[in-house]
Amino acid sequence: MAAKRMRKSLHSRRPWIAISIALVLAFFGWYTGGKFSFDEIFSGIQQTSLPLQGEDETFVYYLDVGQGDSELIRLSNGTNILIDAGTGSTSEALSRYLKNLSIDKIEYVIATHPHEDHIGGMKDIVENFEIGSIYMPKVADSQVPTSKVYENLLGAIDEKGLGITAATAGTIIFEQDDARMEILAPNSEEYSDLNSYSIVTKLTVGEKTFLFTGDAESDSEDEMIELGYDLDADVLKAGHHGSSTSSSLPFLQAVSPQAVIISCGAGNDYGHPHKEVVDRFTEIGAAVYRTDLQGTILARCDGSSITFETDLPSV
Nearest CB to Zn ion, comparing residues 119 and 184: 119
Distance of CA 302 to the CA centre of its chain: 19
* Whole-angstrom distance, CA of residue 285 vs CA of residue 279: 10
SS (H, E, C) 41-87: HHHCCCCCCCCCCCCCCEEEEECCCCCCCCEEEECCCCCEEEECCCC
Q: Does 215 bind Zn ion (CB under 5 A)?
A: yes
Site string for Zn ion, 108-147 (x = CB under 5 A): ---------x------------------------------
Q: Does 84 bind Zn ion (CB under 5 A)?
A: no
Shortest spacing between CB 184 and Zn ion, in angstroms: 18
Q: In what order do the strands lie in the sheet with 208-212?
A: 172-176, 179-185, 200-205, 208-212, 235-237, 259-262, 287-290
Nearest CB to Zn ion, comparing residues 111 and 312: 111
Nearest CB to Zn ion, comparing residues 71 and 215: 215
Shortest spacing between CB 260 and Zn ion, in angstroms: 16
Shortest spacing between CB 272 and Zn ion, in angstroms: 9
* Whole-angstrom distance, CA of residue 185 vs CA of residue 209: 16
Q: Does 57 bind Zn ion (CB under 5 A)?
A: no
* Whole-angstrom distance, CA of residue 84 vs CA of residue 120: 9
Shortest spacing between CB 238 and Zn ion, in angstroms: 11
Instruction: Please give the size of the binding site for Zn ion, defined by CB under 5 A.
Output: 2
The site for Zn ion (CB under 5 A) is made up of: 117, 215
